[in-house]
């Protein structure tokens, strides 16, 4: 009897343990951050606003690697990182590009921005907190951003192309099944579709305002009406690579191009020292030794005398020169000594312009040239020349006037100096089949035509063939 009593006591004790708070566990909500699920459905107005600011901040992601890597392959610069020789050995073609290596930051960044823009515009579409016009505004903004960043990605990939379908957040699991890589032409068609859809959405938005703050970097382009002009500038770039000269001219005319305006007009990426923000990744101190961005040895000698983009006070010191002479010339082993370094920003919080009037005018000149309207092209080129301290072509190079091929060379020359380190030179030389004219610093060097499809993408396609 007594034993039974004890057994019962034990059972009760066990039951008590089982039911007591000791055995209770609760779901642990993430103590460190809010989750993505909280915005995809029924986001608040404030959450959409924050996603919009977030997208604006990530457009700048990848700007350093995009400009520096393409600038290295296009022989504008040599990135002489003291602690990582791959940056100059790989990019100058001394050793093969590693498809699984460290050169693909821009690829991930641009694709991530595309997805983040998608999440923003879908979150906007899936909430009752916004008006239809505001939803359209968010969508138009997102698509324009996608077209802008993915054009950069496409140019780096060259004929390897990009994935033109990547996610459909509305159907579960689709994330795991991205579409195939499309070739360069097809990819451009995709981008054109994006930017035109974006324009249509912005038109639908009418006179409303974006459902998020547009940061100062947009300047006059911050309104819906202004942003349409940015959309057209992006459309112009796409048309340029499509060699659709009529569309190019039309788009430029609807953009913020000003044929006799400030060359530096245009939107910019912002930087600051504030927590949660970033600093200007291209900025370097003078005579930096650890990660200097050196100017390729032929850049200065091949410039015209008096060119303010090359000679005189650097942009970092308030002048116009994109470069500055180092007190200590330097170079990786066996390279020609490089006397200059890139100096385009006064501080590490200086904004980075990412689509300038100067580029629009140069695209205009190219459209006119290709349409054999040479006089208009010369006028535009002369404006670029005179603004940068050079004499008009009639005085400086009278021989080229009236000669289309010579004028194309002149155009490429102006693009080389005006758009230095803005991510153009390599692609310019490629589209005019002139990669073989780029200088090699060592006989073992070579010029890549494009980046490989990243190893992770190739691996993915082996296991999950795309449809």
| Cβ pair 445, 93 in contact under 8 A | yes
Q: Which long-range contacts (CB under 8 A, 24 or more apart) does 25-30 make?
A: none
Q: Is the CB of residue 322 less than 8 Å from the CB of residue 420?
A: yes
For 88, 194, 249, 378, 424, the CA distances from 257, given in Å and listed in that order, are: 36, 21, 11, 17, 18
Minimum distance between the CB of residue 392 and other proteins, rounded to whole angstroms?
39
Position 85 contacts other proteins (CB under 8 A): yes
- Span interacting with other proteins, options 191-199, 285-293, 352-360, 417-425, rule CB under 8 A: 285-293
Measured distance CA(69)–CA(106) in Å, rounded: 9
Q: How many residues bind other proteins (CB under 8 A)?
A: 100
Among 5, 463, 465, 467, binds other proteins (CB under 8 A): 463
Judged by beta carbon, residue 181 or residue 184, the one nearer other proteins is 181
Using the rule CB under 8 A, give the single segment among 108-116, 132-140, 234-242, 370-378 that binds other proteins. Answer: 108-116
Two tokens, residue 68: 């520096």
Among candidate residues 328, 319, 318, 336, the one with its CA nearest the CA of residue 292: 328
Give the one residue of 45, 108, 244, 319 binding other proteins; rule: CB under 8 A: 108
Q: Which two tokens stand for residue 246?
A: 């009529």
Q: Taking CB under 8 A as the criterion, which residues in 293-332 touch other proteins?
A: 329-331
- Count of beta carbons in the 10 Å neighbourhood of residue 272: 13
Q: Report residue 375: phi and psi, to 5°.
A: -65, -45
- Residue 106 binds to other proteins (criterion: CB under 8 A): no
Interface with other proteins (CB under 8 A), residue from 273, 386, 403, 437: 273
* 19 interacts with other proteins by CB under 8 A: no
Residue for token digits 């040239």? Answer: 369
Is residue 287 close enough to count as binding other proteins by CB under 8 A?
yes
Collect all residues with Cβ–Cβ distance below 8 Å to 113 and sequence separation of at least 6.
55, 58, 59, 61, 62, 145, 146, 149
Closest contact distance (angstroms) between CB of 23 and other proteins is 5
- Do residues 309 and 420 make contact, with C-beta atoms less than 8 angstroms apart? yes
Fill in the per-residue mask, 401 to 440: x = in contact with other proteins (CB under 8 A), - = not in contact: ----------------------------------------
Residue 153 near residue 224 (C-beta atoms within 8 A):
no
Q: How far apart are CA 109 and CA 153, in angstroms?
A: 9
- Interface segment toward other proteins; rule CB under 8 A; list 278-286, 313-321, 382-390, 418-426: 278-286
Q: Closest approach of Cβ 229 to other proteins, in Å?
A: 20
Choose the binding region for other proteins from 50-58, 223-231, 243-251, 360-368 (rule: CB under 8 A).
Answer: 50-58
Binding mask 156-195 for other proteins (x = CB under 8 A): ------xx--xx-------xx-x--x--------------
Q: Which residue in 393, 421, 282 sits closest to 345, CA to CA?
A: 282
Work out how close the CB of 438 gets to other proteins at its nearest, in angstroms, rounded to a whole number. Answer: 23
| Shortest Cβ 376–other proteins spacing (Å) | 38
CB 422 within 8 A of CB 416: no
Nearer to other proteins, 307 or 341 (CB): 341
**Residue 127 lies near other proteins (rule: CB under 8 A):** no
- Residue 17 to residue 456: CA distance in whole angstroms: 50
* Under rule CB under 8 A, residue 47 binds other proteins: yes
Task: Figure out which of the listed residues 45, 50, 209, 445 binds other proteins, where binding follows CB under 8 A.
Answer: 50
Stretch that binds other proteins, among 3-11, 239-247, 406-414, 425-433 (CB under 8 A): 3-11
Among all chains, which residue has been given the structure tokens 């951050």? Answer: 33
Residue 39 interacting with other proteins (CB under 8 A): yes
Q: Between vectors from CA 449 to CA 235 and to CA 367, what angle results, nearest 5°?
A: 35
Residues numbered 340 to 369 that lie near other proteins (CB under 8 A) are 347-348
Which of 8, 243, 253, 279 binds other proteins (CB under 8 A)? It is 279
CA distance 127 to 215: 23
Which one among 64, 79, 88, 107 touches other proteins, defined by CB under 8 A?
A: 107
């Amino acid at each position: 009897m007594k034993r039974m009593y004890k057994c019962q006591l034990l059972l009760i004790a066990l039951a008590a343990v089982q039911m007591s708070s000791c055995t209770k566990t609760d779901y642990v909500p993430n103590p460190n951050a809010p989750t993505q699920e909280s915005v995809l459905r029924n986001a608040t107005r404030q959450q959409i606003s924050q996603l919009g600011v977030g997208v604006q901040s990530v457009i700048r992601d990848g700007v350093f690697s995009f400009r520096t890597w393409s600038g290295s392959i296009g022989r504008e610069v040599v990135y002489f990182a003291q602690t990582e020789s791959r940056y100059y050995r790989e990019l100058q073609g001394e050793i093969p590009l590693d498809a699984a290596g460290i050169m693909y930051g821009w690829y991930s960044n641009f694709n991530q921005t595309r997805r983040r823009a998608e999440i923003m515009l879908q979150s906007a579409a899936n909430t009752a907190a916004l008006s239809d016009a505001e939803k359209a505004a968010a969508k138009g903004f997102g698509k324009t951003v996608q077209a802008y960043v993915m054009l950069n990605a496409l140019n780096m990939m060259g004929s390897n192309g990009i994935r033109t379908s990547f996610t459909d957040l509305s159907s579960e699991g689709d994330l795991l099944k991205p579409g195939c890589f499309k070739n360069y032409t097809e990819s451009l068609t995709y981008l054109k579709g994006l930017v035109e859809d974006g324009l249509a959405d912005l038109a639908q938005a009418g006179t409303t305002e974006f459902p998020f703050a547009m940061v100062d970097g947009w300047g006059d382009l911050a309104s819906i009406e202004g942003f349409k002009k940015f959309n057209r500038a992006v459309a112009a770039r796409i048309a340029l690579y499509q060699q659709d000269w009529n569309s190019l001219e039309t788009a430029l005319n609807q953009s913020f191009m000003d044929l006799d305006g400030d060359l530096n007009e245009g939107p910019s990426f912002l930087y600051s020292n504030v927590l949660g923000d970033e600093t200007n990744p291209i900025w370097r101190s003078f005579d930096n030794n650890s990660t200097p961005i050196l100017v390729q040895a032929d850049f200065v000698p091949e410039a015209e005398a008096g060119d303010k983009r090359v000679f005189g006070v650097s942009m970092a010191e308030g002048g116009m020169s994109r470069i500055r002479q180092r007190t200590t010339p330097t170079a990786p082993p066996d390279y020609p000594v490089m006397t200059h370094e890139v100096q385009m920003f006064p501080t590490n919080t200086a904004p980075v312009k990412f689509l300038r009037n100067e580029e629009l005018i140069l695209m205009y000149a190219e459209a006119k040239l290709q349409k054999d309207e040479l006089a208009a092209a010369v006028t535009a080129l002369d404006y670029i020349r005179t603004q940068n301290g050079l004499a008009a072509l009639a005085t400086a190079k009278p021989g080229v006037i009236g000669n289309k091929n010579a004028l194309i060379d002149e155009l490429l020359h102006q693009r080389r100096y005006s758009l230095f380190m803005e991510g153009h030179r390599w692609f310019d030389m490629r589209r005019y089949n002139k990669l073989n004219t780029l200088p090699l610093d060592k006989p073992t060097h070579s010029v890549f035509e494009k980046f490989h499809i990243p190893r992770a993408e190739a691996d993915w396609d082996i296991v999950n063939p795309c449809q």
